[in-house]
């Protein structure tokens, strides 16, 4: 039972390069999330998706785009990476409030460095 799988685990980008972080969950959850974790800042929500085909901005969406490709997959794209986007990125999934609350399940994270 894989849970939430993120790829890649590590990535180094040059300023201005683009990349997509992939996330997939096998728990049939409706809700999916992308967070970034920075020292002293905790986890900050970038984007979330309540269901396939819907996405909403979180606390820090600037510089990012997302795609909810299907119920399983939620990708995060950096179109033009900046050093300020150096961070650890976490994907998570959970169930709808209306479907009964579950806690969020997290992937193992992607450590991204932009030089």
Partner 1 sequence: AQSVAQPEDQVNVAEGNPLTVKCTYSVSGNPYLFWYVQYPNRGLQFLLKYITGDNLVKGSYGFEAEFNKSQTSFHLKKPSALVSDSALYFCAVRGLNTDKLIFGTGTRLQVFP
Q: Which of 22, 44, 72, 73 binds partner 1 (CB under 8 A)?
A: 44
Query: Which residues inside 90-109 make contact with partner 1, applying CB under 8 A?
Result: 90, 92, 94, 96-97, 101, 103-109
Distance CA 103, CA 86 (A): 27
Query: Which residues inside 1-30 make contact with partner 1, applying CB under 8 A?
Result: 30
Kindly tell me which of 17 and 95 has the beta carbon lying closer to partner 1. Answer: 95
69 contacts partner 1 (rule: CB under 8 A): no
Q: Which of 1, 2, 10, 40 binds partner 1 (CB under 8 A)?
A: 40
Distance CA 97, CA 50 (A): 10
């Amino acid at each position: 039972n894989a849970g939430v799988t993120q790829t890649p685990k590590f990535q180094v980008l040059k300023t201005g390069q683009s990349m997509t972080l992939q996330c997939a969950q096998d728990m049939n959850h409706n809700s999916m999330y992308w967070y970034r974790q920075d020292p002293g800042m905790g986890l900050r929500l970038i984007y979330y998706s309540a269901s396939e085909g819907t996405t909403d901005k979180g606390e820090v969406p600037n510089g990012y785009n997302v795609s909810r490709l299907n119920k399983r997959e939620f990708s995060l794209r950096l179109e033009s990476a900046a050093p300020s986007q150096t961070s650890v990125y976490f994907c998570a999934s959970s169930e709808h409030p209306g479907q009964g609350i579950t806690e969020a399940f997290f992937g193992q994270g992607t450590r991204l460095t932009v030089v």
